[in-house]
């Protein structure tokens, strides 16, 4: 087809054509996009509502979970306290031990210090310090303690027998484990 | 495949840039457009049509002599039609047409370069001062050479029409020779051989030869309806133009029973036109080496003055070739299906505008 239009005019026409093509495509895609949005709006609203419902449900579950955790912590703490308390009441008190050793005192022997060491199984080691008038008194004191079934061993160091009178002593006593006060 | 897709999803009108065919002659501007159709086989319907008188001295023998005045005519056209894009016809008087051959399957990029050399041999103005375009004529695939029809116009002529359009805020989409546009409208697509197209206008007669749908020859004879009116005035006395037109269209070349005054007056002028046609015909046949395939098989008349009574018969008889008034709607729609709003008598003047409006490719 012969067309004698000037070259510049042809160029302008081609430019115009492409511009229009791009505009049409742009319009078309915008329309498709708009149509897509319109079509997807109901689904979006539905999904959004569902997500909100699930979020609310998850928040409620979280809250419940948090309260359960608190309760569990409290329970754990209570349990620990209970264990501690039951441990405490499972072993004789210090006062009972002091009273036991005070019971072995006599007029010629005075206990000045009782030292008790306790582990989870009970009293582990007892140290009793004091002053005895003479060796016989000290030995009698040891014998009285060994006669008690609650006491397993009484360790009297030789050094404690160095003096004849007013003997300071420092005994190590092992309690019989199975025996209760 | 793409055309199939376009049938299903036709491109929007905004993209197809619908145009109005505008045929500018020395005396009038005729325009016509068809409603955009979705499918190729849809029946075309005329959307707009009309004519605007161009004052004398604005376009003389196809040359724009008053660009401002032409622009104001185009502005009036724009106001009437609200057109943006137009297809314009160019006057045959300024056209240089020649036919040449090039090797088959020559790349399109090279063709223009080759033709530029041939321009110098065929066009009497420097190649840099012309605008030209070409059309490759249909040929067999195995052919070594192909015929190319080349049309060249002085740059100045095209520029003057282009600038007038721009001044009127119109965007020209195509410029082509008036005769090519007319051929598109009136020459049947299945015509064998060549056809001679005679555009018998008000001030001149354009002669074109069309072969395989391409205009290959064009010439102008400075005799038109106005000259016929002048000889009638001499013979019948001073009469107003409408009355003379009526005489031409009702009596014309038909010999009356009482007097043959009108016929005798007209025939002396028309014989000159006939001789010119015969000369061009002879030239064409000689140039074509009396090739039967290129022989002129019909003469088709159009143009406002083709209404002259008895003209087809006169030319058929004297040229010995069937001569008919063209059906300007030949390639637009079937007259059995559509009744055009333009009367047959006026339609001959719209052949150019119809042909331009029919063009669908830039």
For A53-82, the pLDDT digits (tens) are 999 999 999 999 999 999 999 999 999 999
Confidence of residue B301 (pLDDT cuts 50, 70, 90): very high
Q: Which residues of A touch B94 (CB under 8 A)?
A: none
pLDDT at B361 (0 to 100): 43
Who among A5, A13, A24 is closest to B12 (CB)?
A: A24
Who among A1, A2, A24 is closest to B15 (CB)?
A: A24
Q: Is A9 in Cβ contact with B172 (below 8 Å)? A: yes
Who among A3, A12, A17 is closest to B175 (CB)?
A: A3
Confidence of residue A19 (pLDDT cuts 50, 70, 90): very high
Q: How far is B78 from chain A (nearest CA, A)?
A: 19
Which is more confidently placed, B244 or A88?
B244
The C-alpha torsion from B163 through B168 and B170 to B173, rounded to 10°, is -30
3-state helix vs strand vs coil in chain A, percent to 5: 60, 25, 15
Dihedral sign from CA coordinates of A59, A60, A62, A63: positive
Give residue ranges of B with CB < 8 Å to any A CB.
Answer: 11-12, 14-15, 17, 90, 131-135, 149, 151, 153, 158-159, 162, 171-177, 180, 359, 361-362
Query: Is a pLDDT exceeding 60 seen at residue A180?
Result: no
Residue A18 sits at φ, ψ, to 5 deg, of -65, -35
Closest residue in chain B to residue A25, using alpha carbons only: B15
Q: Is A13 in Cβ contact with B171 (below 8 Å)? A: yes
Whether A8 has its CB under 8 Å from any CB of chain B: the answer is no
Query: Is a pLDDT exceeding 90 seen at residue B239?
Result: no
Query: Is a pLDDT exceeding 80 seen at residue A154?
Result: yes
Find the length of chain B: 362
Closest residue in chain B to residue A18, using alpha carbons only: B15
Can you tell me whether residue B67 is helix, strand or coil? helix
Average of pLDDT values for B139-152?
Answer: 88
Flag the least confident range among A10-14, B251-255, B279-283: B251-255
Who among A2, A5, A6 is closest to B180 (CB)?
A: A2
What DSSP character marks residue A162?
S
Query: Is a pLDDT exceeding 90 seen at residue B180?
Result: yes
Query: Is a pLDDT exceeding 80 seen at residue A42?
Result: yes
For A98-146, the pLDDT digits (tens) are 888 888 888 889 999 999 887 767 777 889 999 999 888 888 899 989 9
Average of pLDDT values for B237-241?
Answer: 88
Q: Which residues of B touch A19 (CB under 8 A)?
A: none
Who among A2, A20, A24 is closest to B133 (CB)?
A: A2
Confidence of residue B362 (pLDDT cuts 50, 70, 90): very low
Q: Is B15 in Cβ contact with A17 (below 8 Å)? A: yes
Average of pLDDT values for B76-82?
Answer: 94
Question: Which of the residue ranges A8-12, B124-128, B292-296, B312-316 has the most confident prediction, judged by mean pLDDT?
Answer: B312-316
**Distance (Å, whole) CA B233 – CA B246:** 13
Who among A4, A12, A13 is closest to B151 (CB)?
A: A4
The C-alpha torsion from B184 through B351 and B326 to B247, rounded to 10°, is -170
Query: Is the full-model pTM beyond 0.80?
Result: no
pLDDT at B200 (0 to 100): 92
A162: nearest Cα among A129, A138, A127, A128 = A138
Q: Is B153 in Cβ contact with A2 (below 8 Å)? A: no
Q: How far is B173 from chain A (nearest CA, A)?
A: 7
Confidence of residue A158 (pLDDT cuts 50, 70, 90): confident
Q: Is A21 in Cβ contact with B362 (below 8 Å)? A: no
Query: Is a pLDDT exceeding 80 seen at residue B269?
Result: yes
Q: How far is A56 from chain B (nearest CA, A)?
A: 49
Q: Is B15 in Cβ contact with A4 (below 8 Å)? A: no
Who among B14, B131, B175 is closest to A24 (CB)?
A: B14
DSSP letters, B295-353, are SEEEEEEESGGGG-TTHHHHHHHHHSS-EEE--TTTTT--TTT---SS-HHHHGGGHHH
Confidence of residue B158 (pLDDT cuts 50, 70, 90): very high
ipTM: 0.82
Tell me whether residue A36 is exposed, middle or buried, using C-beta atoms within 10 angstroms of its C-beta: 0 to 12, 13 to 18, 19 or more: exposed
Q: Which residues of B touch A23 (CB under 8 A)?
A: 14
Matching CATH number, A94-175, of 3.40.50.620, 3.20.20.70, 2.60.40.10, 3.30.1360.100: 3.30.1360.100
Residue B286: both structure tokens together: 């000689």
DSSP letters, B4-28, are HHHHHSPPPHHHH--EEEEEE-SSE
Q: Is A16 in Cβ contact with B359 (below 8 Å)? A: no
Average of pLDDT values for B209-238?
Answer: 90
pLDDT at B71 (0 to 100): 95
Q: Do B205 and B303 form a contact (C-beta atoms < 8 A)?
A: yes
B10, B13, B15: best to mutate for the A interface, most A CBs within 10 A = B15
Query: Is a pLDDT exceeding 90 seen at residue B192?
Result: no
Per-domain residue ranges of chain A: 2-87, 94-175
Whether A28 has its CB under 8 Å from any CB of chain B: the answer is no
């Amino acid at each position: 087809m012969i067309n004698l239009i000037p070259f510049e005019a042809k160029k302008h026409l081609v430019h115009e054509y492409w511009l229009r093509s791009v505009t049409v495509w742009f319009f078309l895609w915008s329309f498709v996009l708009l149509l897509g949005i319109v079509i997807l709006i109901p689904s979006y609203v539905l999904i959004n509502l569902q997500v909100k419902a699930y979020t609310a449900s998850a928040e409620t579950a979280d809250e419940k979970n948090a309260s359960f955790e608190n309760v569990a912590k409290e329970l754990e703490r209570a349990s620990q306290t209970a264990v501690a308390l039951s441990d405490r009441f499972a072993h004789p008190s210090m006062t009972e031990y002091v009273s036991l050793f005070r019971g072995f005192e006599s007029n010629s022997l005075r206990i000045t210090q009782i030292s008790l060491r306790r582990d989870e199984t009970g009293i582990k080691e007892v140290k009793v310090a004091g002053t005895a008038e003479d060796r016989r008194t000290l030995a009698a004191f040891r014998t009285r303690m060994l006669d008690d079934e609650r006491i397993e061993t009484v360790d009297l160091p030789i050094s404690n027998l160095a003096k004849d009178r007013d003997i300071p002593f420092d005994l190590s006593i092992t309690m019989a484990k199975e025996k209760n006060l | 495949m793409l055309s199939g897709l376009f049938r299903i999803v036709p491109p929007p009108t905004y993209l197809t840039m619908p145009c109005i065919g505008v045929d500018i002659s020395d005396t009038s501007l005729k325009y016509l457009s068809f409603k955009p159709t979705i499918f190729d086989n849809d029946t075309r319907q005329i959307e707009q049509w009309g004519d605007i008188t161009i004052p004398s001295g604005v376009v003389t023998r196809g040359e724009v002599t008053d660009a401002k005045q032409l622009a104001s005519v185009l502005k009036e056209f724009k106001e009437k039609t609200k057109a943006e894009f137009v297809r314009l016809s160019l006057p045959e008087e300024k056209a240089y047409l020649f036919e040449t051959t090039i090797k088959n399957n020559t790349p399109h990029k090279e063709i223009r370069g080759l033709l530029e050399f041939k321009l110098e041999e065929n066009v009497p103005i420097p190649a840099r001062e012309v605008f030209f375009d070409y059309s490759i004529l249909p040929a067999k695939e195995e052919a070594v050479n192909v015929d190319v029809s080349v049309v060249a116009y002085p740059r100045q002529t095209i520029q003057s029409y282009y600038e007038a359009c721009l001044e009127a805020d119109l965007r020209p989409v195509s410029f082509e020779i008036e005769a090519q546009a007319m051929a598109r409208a009136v020459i049947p697509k299945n015509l064998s051989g060549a056809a001679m197209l005679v555009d018998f206008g008000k001030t001149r007669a354009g002669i074109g030869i069309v072969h395989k749908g391409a205009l290959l020859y064009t010439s102008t004879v400075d005799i038109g309806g106005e000259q016929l009116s002048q000889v009638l005035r001499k013979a019948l006395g001073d009469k107003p133009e409408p009355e003379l037109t009526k005489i031409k269209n009702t009596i014309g070349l038909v010999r009356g029973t009482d007097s043959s005054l009108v016929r005798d007056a007209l025939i002396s002028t028309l014989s000159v036109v006939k001789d010119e046609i015969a000369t061009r015909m002879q030239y064409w046949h000689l140039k074509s080496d009396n090739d039967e395939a290129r022989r002129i098989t019909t003469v088709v008349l159009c143009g406002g003055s083709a209404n002259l009574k008895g003209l087809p018969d006169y030319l058929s008889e004297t040229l010995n070739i069937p001569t008919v008034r063209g059906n300007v709607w030949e390639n637009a729609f079937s007259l059995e299906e559509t009744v055009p709003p333009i009367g047959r008598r006026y339609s001959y003047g719209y052949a150019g505008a119809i042909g331009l409006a029919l063009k669908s490719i830039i």
